[in-house]
Amino acid sequence: MTQDSAEYAIEDDDLCLDNEASEIQRLQLTAPVEPQAQEDLDERVATIEFHCSGCNMHEMVHYYGRTPPFALGIKFREDSYVLRDPFQAPPPRWQSKPEFYVALGVKCANCNKVVCKDTLCSFYYTKTFCLECGKVELKNWPVEAQSRFRKQLTAKTP
Ligand SMILES: [Zn+2]
Ligand SMILES: [Zn+2]
């Protein structure tokens, strides 16, 4: 509102201005503010709580699901807790490149406990399992998956 009155004041002072030039100036000054700007701001606030049941990692994330709107073309195989990369500046609106993101973790396919991707907290074989469920599920897996899981379990004790 105050900008408008300032704009008209300038025009009054510059009455000798060429008509066309002042018209262009007016068009530039009164270009509508993008209505989406406020929504974008809110969207960048992390509102979903991620809490790993294994290592206690605690983080606020931006998205839970399979297709984060800020990571174009990405489709996770499991519902994931996704954080926008905090070190990445927002891309210009007209740019359709996906943002960088970090998938922190998922829910265990068996018991639904939230686990991060750390090898101390979860194991992935067709789905993500917490280590406790992994130890139970293990016997249903092919030998190769079993030995990989056992290796991961032993690797955690130095
Ligand atoms: Zn963890
Ligand atoms: Zn589990």
Tokens of 152: 């991961």
Same structural domain, 27 and 66: no
Give residue 91's pLDDT: 62
Ranges of residues in the chain with a pLDDT under 70 are 1-19, 21-43, 88, 90-99, 156-158
Q: What is the pLDDT, as a whole number, of residue 43?
A: 67
Asked whether residue 18 is assigned to any structural domain, the reply reads: yes
Ligand 1 centroid to residue 18 C-alpha, Å:
67
Q: What is the CA radius of gyration of the chain?
A: 26
Residue 67 located in a structural domain: yes
Cα(62) to ligand 2 centroid in Å equals: 23
pLDDT at 36: 53
Which residues have a Cβ under 8 Å from the Cβ of 108 and sit 6 or more positions away?
114, 115, 122, 128, 129, 130, 133
Say whether both 6 and 51 belong to one domain. Answer: no
Cα-to-centroid distance, 84 and ligand 1 (Å): 18
Asked if 89 and 97 count as a contact pair (C-beta separation under 8 A), the reply is no
- Indicate whether 103 and 56 sit together in one domain: yes
64 in any annotated domain: yes
| Residue 14: domain span | 1-31
Number of domains in the chain: 2
Considering the domain architecture, whether residues 22 and 78 belong to the same structural domain is answered as no
Residue 134 lies in a domain: no
How many angstroms is it from 86 CA to the middle of ligand 2?
Answer: 29
Is residue 146 assigned to a domain? Answer: no
In 3D space, the residue among 68, 135, 129, 73 whose CA is nearest the CA of residue 103 turns out to be 68
Please check whether residues 114 and 70 belong to one and the same domain.
yes
How many angstroms separate the alpha carbon of residue 131 from the centre of ligand 2? Answer: 7
Say yes or no: 26 and 41 in one domain.
Answer: no
Q: Residues 96, 80: one domain?
A: yes
Q: How far is the CA of 43 from the centre of ligand 2 (A)?
A: 31
Q: How many whole angstroms separate alpha carbon 27 and alpha carbon 37?
A: 20
Q: Are residues 41 and 22 in the same domain?
A: no
The per-residue pLDDT for 5 is 46
Ligand nearest to the CA of 113: 2
Do 53 and 107 fall within a single domain? yes
